Amino acid sequence: MTMSPRFSRRDFTKFSLAASAAMLAGVRGAVAATPKGEPIRIGVLHSLSGTMAISETTLKDVILMLVELQNRKGGVLGRPLEAVVVDPASNWPLFAEKARQLLAVDKVASVFGCWTSVSRKSVLPVFEELNGILFYPVQYEGQECSRNVFYTGAAPNQQAIPAVDYLLSADGGGAKRFALIGTDYVYPRTTNQILQNYLKSKGIADADIMVNYTPFGQSDWQTIVSQLKAFGSAGKKTAVVSTINGDANVPFYKELGAQGISATDIPVMAFSVGEEELAGMDTKPLVGQLAAWNYFESIDSPANKSFIKEWHDYTKNPKRTTNDPMEASYIGFNLWVQAVEKVGSTDHDKVIDAMVGLKQANLTGGTAQVLPNHHITKPVYIGEIQDDGQFNVVWQTPKEVPGMAWSPYVPETKNLIGDWTRPVSCGNYDTVKKACLGAKHG
């Protein structure tokens, strides 16, 4: 990937007025006729308790805000939207049970939910069995392409790979050793498998790659951070790539500070730490540490300002932050509304088929487009943590990056693509064998 120069916040002020106006209309909306008739139900499947509540509760709140705003604009197809909220409580089997309830009992038209990949993997068979629609708004490890899921968060080539490119570059410090530290579940393990192969392709030796996993909710980081400190003392510039998820991030960063590890010593590039997580931390020892996302609250665009104002008005709390998965939720929600209005129905098959090709202005001045593999186009940003808990963007891709479902850095998947349009209609099509390796549709 081509590296672009550093950017300041002021560099993000030059955005398309047309895109801004479209986003403004999408967020604020005009006063419309009161929706009537039987409500259209949508499901909200996010943990409101347990270790992931620190991240997921906000996504529940933003969907409820979007429902309220959409109803002010006349609902969907002239009918009111009604959110059905359930709490899977950071319990992965419970995610599947709650998903079945939403689809089979509550008869929701779509579901917005999940954070961890283990929760998404838990519900996936339910959505495929019952032909439901899931909008998944969080960065993930790729290596999946379901007809019943729309992946509005980042695939590895939209977050992990660009982040490592930045760390390898002169702008990012020119790292020569990498510690891949994550929570012990599918997202960190699969992402790190991809990154290990990618780093080796860039000339990084096995001896210069450290990998460590910890359970959800890990609280004691003293030994691991000591190991990390020792690993970084070998005379080569060392960087951490963190796939630590949930509330374990708080003691991890605290221990870094306790052992005197600063961003200039060993920079940490996080994939799951955003504004919401930083709101619960003392950020002063973290200044200069990094995160890779597709959105930051600090990006100065008219659309983002409007969205933040709506969020503060809705929550009645001017200190509530916004973050990347919130924007991904926003994009997914509005794409679903577009698809339903396009086909004039909430029929799952019609909506799924109508989604590919749809475009939605994002909050940073660009456009998200739904691809045949049910991923979307996204910009990539690298941000440095500031002492106010916000991020200063130091790097961005020149344009939106199309999401790739399957990694070319894993031998078993390097020839695979997902394409849910006819005549392929397959989530794992082998471009060499010219064959679908899984179930086709239609």
Q: Who's near 232: CB < 8 A, 6+ residues apart? A: 177, 179, 238, 261, 265, 266
pLDDT at residue 25 above 70? no
User: What are 299-319's pLDDT values in tens digits?
Assistant: 999 999 999 999 999 999 999
Question: pLDDT of 329-384, one tens digit each?
Answer: 999 999 999 999 999 999 999 999 999 999 999 999 999 999 999 999 999 999 99
End-to-end, the C-alpha distance of the chain in Å comes to 36
Residue 318, preceding bond cis, omega within 30 degrees? Answer: no
Asked if pLDDT for residue 6 goes beyond 80, the answer is no
Q: How far apart are CA 275 and CA 278, in angstroms?
A: 5
Q: Greater confidence, 380 or 282?
A: 380
Span 71-79, average pLDDT: 97
Higher pLDDT, 336 or 2: 336
How high is the pLDDT of residue 10? 38
For residue 82, give the nearest of 46, 120, 35, 47 by alpha carbon: 35
pLDDT tier at 14 (50, 70, 90 boundaries)? very low
The dotted CATH code for 1-404 is: 3.40.50.2300
Give the per-residue pLDDT at 123.
Answer: 98
CA dihedral 422, 329, 74, 61 (to 10 degrees): 150
Listed by start position, the domains of the chain span 1-404, 411-442
Could you give the CA distance from residue 243 to residue 116 in angstroms, rounded to a whole number?
A: 11
Q: Is this model's pTM higher than 0.75 or not?
A: yes
Give the pLDDT band of residue 31 (cuts 50, 70, 90): low
CA atoms of 39 and 59, how far apart (whole Å):
22
